[in-house]
Amino acid sequence: MALFGGGGGSGENGSGPAPCGRYRSPLVSRYSSPEMAFNFSDAKKFSTWRRLWFFLAKAERMLGLAITEQQLEEMEMNLENIDYAMAAEEEKKLRHDVMAHVHTFAHCCPQAAAIIHLGATSCYVGDNTDLIVLRDGFDILLPKLARVISRLADFAEHYAHLPTLGFTHYQPAQLTTVGKRSCLWLQDLCMDLRSVRRAREELRFRGVKGTTGTQASFLQLLQGDHSKVEELDRLVTEMAGFKRTYLVTGQTYSRKVDVDCLAVLASLGASVHKICTDIRLLANLKEIEEPFEKDQIGSSAMPYKRNPMRSERCCSLARHLMGLIMDPLQTAAVQWLERTLDDSANRRVCLPEAFLTADIILSTLQNITEGLVVYPKVIERHIRHELPFMATENIIMAMVKAGGNRQDCHEHIRVLSHQAAAVVKQEGGDNDLITRIRAETYFSPIHGQLEALLDPKTFVGRAPEQVAKFLAEEVRPLLVPFANQMDVKMALEL
């Protein structure tokens, strides 16, 4: 007897488990976009198989094989007419998913039944479909990544001149600007955009290669004509929307291709994790917050809380995305000779999950970057708390210019700094170093300069200029190919 709940109720028609009685991946049920969920759906997969069989038959007819126009028309009419129940029954009987769908397709194409899958091996539809899905997955991700970069670029430009504490080792360091810090995030994402575009552009088609990649079956079909075999490969590749094919394969395309695809997504995951960790740290300081809805609840126990839940979600999913790279690495390493089937089950999991995870991470990060809230007064208070210590070198230089002795001035500053530090650390008070300097007659020659010496804008170096140059020369040009896809806003339900 189950301790919790029943043993699985019936569906609406009493034909199986209710939807809530079966595990559903949250990547689809809770997070992913409809377009990415469809990209890895059975409907996309099996209709693509049928299109590939149609392309093959069409190209074979063009090269002289005995395939009629009526057979092609019949196949084309039934590309989406898939009887999934019949396919499942066939697979249960045959223990072979491709042959199950060959039989199912043939059932609704009786005239074309004899020529479906002619000369092909299972990987003709399996691997070529995977490559199409990977390509289309990248095409979904690229504009989303470009939009995140665009939103962050606008943010960086807007806050290019706003001084803020820089941190090294998460300890206060020299000042930077809010815009300059976001350019560190942008630089990583720009690297990711270039890497994802490269991975997408370098994808090729497996094409028609036969059982072990030698094209022997097609050479036999085409009466030993090598040029026709090459033309068959080229025609099908072109019909599938690819410019190039892998010239050599085993039964499968090299699993190093999967490594390359997931590596760029894992690297993107690392970038997003770093960005969202920074936002979470800044939220703790109350300097920057992600969007927070009017009726959103931060904590069931603490009503005042404004938890950075979107950034936390990104970090959580990014860890999963980064970890997925181990699957294709190990798969590529253990492929025996022309192939072994221990790649199949693994790839059914890691390839969709990588793209589904990257998809929701980018959608969430876009939502975050469209609504980042900056609190300049809090940032200014933190600067005032730390800047007096950072300004001591400037004060010493000003005293020397006014005729003072550097060593004497250094000693005076050292004593006052330690006194001010004791107030901050031991008494929990504010940094009163400047008040102490104003009270010392020794520093009277520069009392009138103290305000200018403590102007935060004089401590940010070339940060504003770096932001402007970086955005103009590296970021904006990257976004040109995606200009007509920038208007989409990303509202999240959860």
Say how far apart CA 286 and CA 304 lie, in whole Å: 13
Nearest Cα residue to 124 out of 102, 148, 151: 102
289 forms beta bridges with 373
- Pair 88, 42: CB distance under 8 Å: no
Choice among 15, 169, 227, 300 that is catalytic:
169
375-411 burial by CB neighbour count: b if 16+ within 10 A, else e? eeeebbebbeebbbbbbbebbbebbeeeebeeeebee
Distance (Å) of CA 406 to CA 366, 403, 412, 435, 453: 52, 9, 10, 21, 17
Choice among 29, 96, 226, 299 that is catalytic:
299
Is 169 catalytic? The answer is yes
Q: Which amino acid is located at 241 in the chain?
A: G
Q: Which residues contact 257 (CB under 8 A, 6 or more apart)?
A: 131, 134, 203
Integer-rounded Cα radius of gyration of the chain:
31
Nearest Cα residue to 251 out of 333, 336, 338, 344: 338
Helix (H, G, I), strand (E, B) or coil at 334: coil
> Which letter does DSSP use for residue 302 in this model?
-
* CA 225, 231, 237, 242 torsion-angle sign: positive
- Pair 142, 200: CB distance under 8 Å: yes
Nearest Cα residue to 163 out of 461, 402, 443: 461
Is 299 catalytic? The answer is yes
| Count of CB atoms situated within 10 Å of the CB of 148 | 29
Q: Which two tokens stand for residue 73?
A: 């028309």
Instruction: Provide the annotated active-site residues.
Output: 169, 299
